[in-house]
Structure 1
Amino acid sequence: MAAYGWGDVTLGRIPLRETFAVSESGGGDRGLDLEGQESYPPLTRAQVIARHDGINALIAGQVIPVTFTDKPERSGYYTVKSASSTYTEYRTDMATADWKVSLDRVGSDAETDLQSRLTGAVRLNDFALTGERWHAPPIGHYGYYTGSTNATTMTRTGADGAITVYRGVPANVSPRWGCAPTSYLTGRVRLTTTGSQEVYGVDVPLAATGWALSNGLVNVSPGASATLDVQAYTGSAWHSKLWNVSVAGSASSITTWDGATLLRNDPEMVILRLTKGLSPGRATLDLTLRRGSRTVEGYLQTGTSATLAAYRSTLETNTSFAASGYVTATYDDGDSNRFAIGSARSFTAHTNGGIIKSSATSMDFWIGVVASQTYLSSNPDAEIDLTGWTGQACSIARQATPGSPPFPGAWSIKATPDGVSSSNSIAESPHSAVGSIAPGASYTCSYWIYSPAGWSDFRASIDWYDASDVFLSTSSSSAQVIPAGQWTYVSNTAAAPANASRAAGRARQGVTPAASDVWYGDQIVLRAATPSGDAATDLRNMYIAAMPEAVYGVRR
């Protein structure tokens, strides 16, 4: 609600004070004319300027949702005919924006379909990828229609809520869907500038610092000690990864920008252009974020050939699939994510985890994460207690995490062998074995291990149970040597046997350890072996076929 009891009228993304009167006309087109004033005070000066710029950024012919607090019958979808605003600055006292907007009514959501025209072709690429047509309407849409062939769906949960992503959208089809105007902006892409003020148009002043680009799933901002801070929303929280972008390989990354501007700024897609002077010459980086996307897209350009690169600011153990177009972290991090970066064109993998193109004037790339998968383990670390865990031929206890682990958290599980058994384990208690296991499907047990003195035989095991918690069998990895005083990752992937419906993970030490051969386990998790939905290959194919979207209103 606006200040002093006024209602709100929202034109697209622009919040305004609701005026007492609206002027409507009938005939061939049902027109609606609005005019009002925004002022500082009670708004801040930055808010008044943003709304003034936003009104003048409305484009003739553009379809926008319009909502009213006190006149909800007028809410619906409208086509912009004209828009103007007069800004007046009363120095040191007040500022006003007197605005006028002329609209043509398309209709209410009950009588209007929104049609998304997915334009453009699949990106040219060096990996024989055909891409995958996908689309993400606003949170709260309904009645998604693609003709005689339905698209498949997946759900991505972000800071704005759960957004549905439609996959395999039929070729040559422009999806239609309905959406209440009040829901149209949920899940949108937005760019904010200094003071977290959302920017409403493209032809507006934009600071080269203090900006943030977000769609509720990915948030990108300047990095305090790197070029970009790319955050992923998983597990109900934002998780940060710092990335460097460079036109000099690993020698020097871009840490500040000289200018920023917007090439596109719509709820479904925002393109931000950053400029850096190179003395002589310059580099530009275009960042594109789409509604519903798990990746931010980048396009780096220079005037003359250089070694272009995008890479993790600090080394993170990674695996290169350069022949397939991407690089990903080898292990889950402490947030259960794995970074992923790739390109449509051939590249050389960067040691830190990233991509390099030598003697190039342009480089496309995408950055995202293989998002956290649902753990089947109910308590994968010891941060709170040891619920669900037991020691087999050893005693276990919570203890402060030793060494320098590559994951967050202050506590680990310490195992002290009984000194007589051939092996000992930190194991999920049989009553904690989790259901939803499908016979024949593959599952992975993984954990981090720390042995102060080192040890020659650690294994990751999966214990299989039937529906009544009766033990069936165990699948174990081969013996792995663990260096002294170094956190090491151990994993095992195995297929569930027939009749299995429950499973439990286990970290195992072998070769008859003495009681003094203590060790520590952490992040002991059991999960499906193949990440669903947001696996790196899915992200790669979605990037190849990420198509610009234009939205039109059509009568049902």
Structure 2
Amino acid sequence: MALYGWGDVQLGRIPLRETFTVTESGGDGRTLDLEGQESYPPLTRAQVVARHDGINALTVGQCIPVTFTDKPERNGYYMVKSSGSTYTEYLNSMVTADWKVSLDRIGSDAETDLQSRLTGAVRLNDFSLTGERWHAPPIGHYGYYTGSSNPTTMTRTGADGAMTVYRSVPANTSPRWGCLPTSYLTGRVKATTTGGQEVYGADVPLAATGWSLSNGFVNVTTSASASLDVQTYAGGAYRSKLWNVSVAGSGAPISSWDGATLLRNDPEMVILRLTKSLSPGRATLDLTLRRGSRFVEGYLQTGTAATLAAYRSTLETNTSAAASGYITATADDSDGNVFVIGSARSFTAHANGGITKAAATAMDFFIGAVASQPTLNANPTFDTDTSDWTPVNATLTRSSVQSKYGGWSGLLTSTAGSSPRAEAGKAAAVAGLSYRASGWLYAPAPIPSGTGININWYDVSQAYLTTSTNSVTPASGAWFFMDATFTAPANAAYGGVHFVIGGSPGAGVLLYGDDIRMRAATPSGDTALDLRNQYAAAMPEAVYGVRR
């Protein structure tokens, strides 16, 4: 609600003070003319400037949702006919933007289909990829229609809520869907500048630092200690990971940017261009973020050939699948996520976890993450105490002698009997679904009988059913990661993740555990291979309003 009891009129992404008068006309087209004034005070100067620039950035022929607080009967989808704003600044006193917009009404959501024209083709690539054609309309859409062939769906939950993503969208179709105008902007891609002010158009000033791109799943911004900070939304918050971009291979990365500008700025897709002076010449980096995507796309260019690179700012152990177009972390990070980076064209793996391309003037890449699912067991890290854990044929103490994350781990010391273990409290599970059991273990001395991170399964009365096991004979004196996916058996209602020393080792055998988690398995659509395939077939989208 606007200040001083005024209502709001929302033109696309631009919030404005609702005026008393709306001028409409019929005939060949139903025209709606609006005008009003934004001012500082009561708004901030930055808000007035952003709204002035946003009005002037509206594109003739563009389809936008329009909503009113006090005149909701006028809510609907409109085509822009003309727009303009007069900016006046009274030095150190007041700023005003007197705006006018002329629109043609397409219709309400009940009579309007929004058609997404997914243009382009699968990226030319060196890995014989056909890609996966996918699409993510706004949160709150309905009636998604692709003709006689239906896509599959998945749900991604981000900062804006749960979004339906359509996978394997039939080729040569332009999906149609409905959406309340009041829901159209939920889950959109946002470009913000200094102070978090959203930028409403492309032809507007943008600070070289302090900007961000966000779609609720990925947030990209600058960093004082790296080229980019690419954050993944997981566990109710954005989780940061720093990346370097370089035109000197593993040499000095680009630590700051000279300029930033927007090439495209729509709710479904934003393209940001960064510029860096070289000596001589310059480098440009185009970043693209799409609605519903779990990765940001990059395109690095230079005028003369160089060794181009995009890589983790600090070493993170990784598994190279360069022959298949991507690199991924070997194990979960402290937030439970796994980075993914790749390219459509052949490249060399960077030791830190990343890609390089020698003697090149351009390099495409994507950066994302396999985001963790919520942890089902309590206290996975032992950083406070050993609560929720029960030792069997062993003792369990909290130890600072060894730790993988934080300053503590759980120290399991065998006493007598078979399979000495520490088991977490029983977590609800569903028979037939897949669950991950993962974590870090440290054996100070060899354990010939092996170790594991397993799940005990229980029925609805919490009676034991069976155990899903994952065993390895570890090297001693180093942390090692264990990760396995198990299917909950028939009649399972609970699962108890535990770390265990195999066999009957006798008393005094030590095993440290840290970050021991039971989670739902990564859903189809969010694995590293899925993200690579979705990058290969990421299609530019243009939205049009058509009568239903």
Q: 1:147 to 1:512 in 2, by over 3 A?
A: closer
Supply the distance in 1 between the matched residues of 2:486 and 2:164 (Cα, whole angstroms): 31
Q: Give the % identical residues.
A: 68
Q: Which residue of 1 aligns with 2:373?
A: 373
Aligned-residue CA RMSD (Å) = 2.3
Q: Which residue of 1 aligns with 2:306?
A: 306
Supply the distance in 2 between the matched residues of 1:534 and 1:358 (Cα, whole angstroms): 30
Q: Which residue of 2 aligns with 1:228?
A: 228
Answer whether contact 1:463 1:506 (CA < 8 A) is retained. yes
- Aligned pairs for 1:263-278 within 5 A: 263-278=263-278
Supply the distance in 1 between the matched residues of 2:511 and 2:453 (Cα, whole angstroms): 17
- Aligned pairs for 1:51-200 within 5 A: 51-200=51-200
In the TM superposition, residue 492 of structure 1 has moved relative to its aligned partner by 4.7
In the TM superposition, residue 455 of structure 1 has moved relative to its aligned partner by 5.3
Equivalent of 1:416, from 390, 408, 413? Answer: 413
In the TM superposition, residue 434 of structure 1 has moved relative to its aligned partner by 4.5
Q: Which residue of 1 aligns with 2:247?
A: 247
Answer whether contact 1:460 1:505 (CA < 8 A) is retained. no
Tell me which amino acid in the other structure corresponds to 2:423.
Answer: A
Q: 1:69 to 1:528 in 2, by over 3 A?
A: closer
Tell me which amino acid in the other structure corresponds to 1:542.
Answer: Q
Structure 1 unaligned residues grouped into runs of 5+: none
Q: 1:401 to 1:546 in 2, by over 3 A?
A: farther
Supply the distance in 1 between the matched residues of 2:210 and 2:197 (Cα, whole angstroms): 10
Instruction: Using structure 1 for the length normalisation, give the TM-score.
Output: 0.93
- Aligned pairs for 1:368-517 within 5 A: 368-375=368-375, 377=377, 379-383=379-383, 386-397=386-397, 399=398, 401-403=400-402, 405=404, 407=405, 409-418=406-415, 420-421=416-417, 424-428=420-424, 432=426, 434-438=428-432, 444-452=436-444, 458-465=450-457, 467=459, 469-473=463-467, 475-483=469-477, 486-492=478-484, 503-509=495-501, 517=509
In the TM superposition, residue 224 of structure 1 has moved relative to its aligned partner by 1.9
In the TM superposition, residue 490 of structure 1 has moved relative to its aligned partner by 3.1
Answer whether contact 2:229 2:241 (CA < 8 A) is retained. yes
Supply the distance in 1 between the matched residues of 2:245 and 2:267 (Cα, whole angstroms): 27
Q: 1:443 to 1:31 in 2, by over 3 A?
A: closer
Supply the distance in 1 between the matched residues of 2:436 and 2:91 (Cα, whole angstroms): 66
Answer whether contact 2:263 2:272 (CA < 8 A) is retained. yes
Tell me which amino acid in the other structure corresponds to 1:291.
Answer: R
How many aligned positions are there?
Answer: 546
Which segment drifts farther, 200-209 or 505-514? Answer: 505-514
Secondary structure at the aligned position of 2:472 is classed as coil
Answer whether contact 2:140 2:183 (CA < 8 A) is retained. yes
For residues 307-349 of structure 1, the C-alpha deviation after alignment (integer angstroms, 9 at most, x for no partner) is 1111110111110111111111111122221010111111111
Supply the distance in 1 between the matched residues of 2:79 and 2:379 (Cα, whole angstroms): 53
Q: 1:381 to 1:6 in 2, by over 3 A?
A: same
In the TM superposition, residue 451 of structure 1 has moved relative to its aligned partner by 4.2
Tell me which amino acid in the other structure corresponds to 1:436.
Answer: V
Supply the distance in 2 between the matched residues of 1:493 and 1:179 (Cα, whole angstroms): 38
Equivalent of 1:550, from 518, 527, 542? Answer: 542
Secondary structure at the aligned position of 1:27 is classed as coil
For residues 383-413 of structure 1, the C-alpha deviation after alignment (integer angstroms, 9 at most, x for no partner) is 565454221221113x2544452x3x45432
Q: 1:68 to 1:369 in 2, by over 3 A?
A: same
- Aligned pairs for 1:250-399 within 5 A: 250-375=250-375, 377=377, 379-383=379-383, 386-397=386-397, 399=398
Q: 1:381 to 1:73 in 2, by over 3 A?
A: same
In the TM superposition, residue 456 of structure 1 has moved relative to its aligned partner by 5.5
Structure 2 unaligned residues grouped into runs of 5+: none
Secondary structure at the aligned position of 1:166 is classed as strand
In the TM superposition, residue 380 of structure 1 has moved relative to its aligned partner by 3.1
Answer whether contact 2:144 2:178 (CA < 8 A) is retained. yes
- Aligned pairs for 1:196-207 within 5 A: 196-207=196-207
In the TM superposition, residue 381 of structure 1 has moved relative to its aligned partner by 3.4
Which segment drifts farther, 521-530 or 86-95? Answer: 521-530
Tell me which amino acid in the other structure corresponds to 1:449.
Answer: L
Supply the distance in 1 between the matched residues of 2:246 and 2:280 (Cα, whole angstroms): 16
Tell me which amino acid in the other structure corresponds to 1:462.
Answer: N
Supply the distance in 1 between the matched residues of 2:140 and 2:523 (Cα, whole angstroms): 26
Supply the distance in 2 between the matched residues of 1:116 and 1:501 (Cα, whole angstroms): 42
